[in-house]
Amino acid sequence: MSQENSTGAASKRRGTTKVGMVVSDVCDQTVTVQVVTPVAHKKYHRIVRQTTRFMAHDKENRCQTGDLVEIRECRPISKRKRWQVVRVVRARRVVGSEAKGANA
């Protein structure tokens, strides 16, 4: 029984994971990820989209604006960064003139 409790505690320490869209990649090794959570409205009983922004650590600078990424909770890295990028779920979609090149 003690082994089961210790493994359960270890899974809690890993932190939660969330999936969101990168909305800013201006800073070095940092991205801003916007996570959309559907929440039921208390009075009107409708589903409302609630958005939250997280600062996440991107060690390799591989994320770009528009990417769908998975982030995991970690130790505090700076004043506002408590998340790190685990993986890029889907790279951004290149549209129209961006696909042809800057001169087109």
What pLDDT digit, counting tens, does each position of 46-76 carry? 999 999 999 999 999 999 999 999 999 999 9
Residue among 32, 99, 38, 37 at smallest CA distance from 66: 32
Structural domain including 61 reads: 16-100
Q: Which residue has better confidence, 68 or 12?
A: 68
76 vs 7, higher pLDDT = 76
Mean pLDDT of the chain: 86
pLDDT for the residue 1: 45
What is the model's pTM? 0.75
Q: How many domains does the chain have?
A: 1
CA pair distance 38, 51, nearest whole angstrom: 9
44 inside domain: yes
Residue 73 covered by a domain: yes
pLDDT at 19: 97
